[in-house]
Structure 1
Amino acid sequence: IHLVVPPMDMPKYMDPAIQEVLQVLAEQGVKPMGPLFSYHHRRPADTFEFEIGFAVNGEVKPQGRVKPSTLPASRVVSSLYTGPYEGLGGAWGELERWVRAQGHVETGRFWEAYLSNPEETPDPADYRTELNWILG
């Protein structure tokens, strides 16, 4: 599902969109094969523009807002952040400083893989999120 939302509204739109994706996958007999991810098309400004989805074990047919897509083959730098989602901005800032210090060119595109399920990991301090920054 492709979303364009203000940062403060992200939680309001994420959960319903995740449930919609999972419902469509179940209806089509397709199973998630990895964690939820959000692929961001550009650096955040006034809004986040991103897709949410899962790697899956079969073909997904377009249905409603759910459309198949793929993550681009890319050179990336990855980092693992542990903590509440509110700390992701700071984690991305640290990763950005490292990327620039290494002389890498950034594209403004990135994705997050949410390795912890909040229903199974009740303490936000234990959430694990993989940060993937696409390099130019």
Structure 2
Amino acid sequence: MIEPLRVIKTTPQLTALIPISVPREDVRKVMGPGLAELKVGVAAQNVAVVGPWFTHHIRNPGEVFDFEISLPVATPVAPANRMKPGQWPAMSIVQTTYHGGYEGLGSAWGEFIGIIKTAGHRAADGLYECYAVGPDMSADPSAWRTVLSKELLAS
């Protein structure tokens, strides 16, 4: 289930990120270890995490997923191993929240993109998924919440 569309303007947010490029079938293999590596890297620099983790897919996923595992941070991180400093930019986005387990994300994205088009919005290539409530907070997948976002293009 997804919530109704929201159109919002983001503000810049510093991030720590690890860039990843893997075949579609390997995403589940790299996500957990990549997030753990990022958390360790941020903690080693005594940088505060200021919100839930998210992924930024540089382009809409296809056979290869080019994305960044990201954490919003209070101050810039220094590059270390695969970790790099980044920033979520100020932009207009269209957003919804998906309720449920990760296996339903593909169909949620399909529904979301259809609603975006029906509403007359034009969205940029790429996407953001913010894992607001996940398995680290609840063992019940029906309680999980993933915020889906697409950057809007100027009309």
Scaled to the shorter chain, the TM-score interval is over 0.9
Q: Indicate whether 1:77 and 2:94 are aligned.
A: yes
Paired residues, number: 136
CA contact (8 A) 1:39 1:71 kept: no
Structure 1: which 5+ runs fail to align? Answer: none
1:133 alignment partner in structure 2: 150
| TM-score where L is the length of structure 1 | 0.95
C-alpha distance in structure 2 between counterparts of 1:117 and 1:100, whole Å = 28
Give the superposition deviation at 1:120.
2.3
RMSD, aligned CA: 1.0
Task: Name whichever structure is richer in strand by fraction.
Answer: 2
2:80 alignment partner in structure 1: 63
Moved segments of 4+, more than 3 Å: none
C-alpha distance in structure 1 between counterparts of 2:91 and 2:21, whole Å = 23
C-alpha distance in structure 2 between counterparts of 1:131 and 1:75, whole Å = 14
Q: Which has the higher contact order (CA 8 A, sep 6+)?
A: 2
C-alpha distance in structure 2 between counterparts of 1:113 and 1:119, whole Å = 14
What secondary structure, in the 3-state scheme, does the structure 1 residue paired with 2:124 have? strand
% identical aligned pairs: 38
1:32 alignment partner in structure 2: 49
Give the superposition deviation at 1:125.
2.1
| TM-score where L is the length of structure 2 | 0.84
